Amino acid sequence: MKTLYLLRHAKSSWDFDELSDHDRPLNNRGRDDAPLMGRELLSREIALDLIVSSSAVRALTTASLVAKELEYDTSQIVIDENIYGAGKEELYRIIQKFPDDVDNILLVGHNPEISDLANMLSPEHITDMPTAAVVSLRFACFTWKEITPENATLLFYDFPKNHK
């Protein structure tokens, strides 16, 4: 069985006009929501084998804040520059190349692509994911190349406003 967690990065700041979109940091709400969702994953007894993040500052910061709550070594976060700007089909291909010796993976990305991917893979409709939302999908297969909506089960869909 393979379990995929799709996490949209937390709320980012638009306060720095001189920064590129790629380099925008999290705002205060984002810095609060990312650890909150990490704690929620911890309360579900989620143990990740791998965290893969977009190279964008806001995504990588989100991944790091969640990882700390899960006691996952932040130096082990894999940064994949192909996630930033990738469409749902490209994200799907990235996932299919994940190593088969890991079963529980968190992918941190951007909207609308992460919501589109969640809907492409989920047997149930998922609304547009707000910032710091997470979708968990379990696949009845043994390799990442085999994941499809047909062998998927939606385990949960959660977001910060559920906990405030």
Pick out the residues of the known binding site for substrate.
58
Q: Is the peptide bond before 112 cis (omega within 30 degrees of 0)?
A: yes
Residue 130 CA to residue 36 CA, distance in Å, equals: 14
Residues 6+ apart with CB under 8 A from 158: 37, 40, 133, 134
Residue 127 CA to residue 149 CA, distance in Å, equals: 16
Retrieve residue 65's tokens: 């804040």
> Between 57-69 and 28-43, two packed helices, what is the crossing angle to 10 degrees?
40
Return binding residues: 58
Residue 62 CA to residue 79 CA, distance in Å, equals: 12
Please state whether beta strands 104-109 and 134-139 pair in parallel, antiparallel, or not at all (unpaired): unpaired
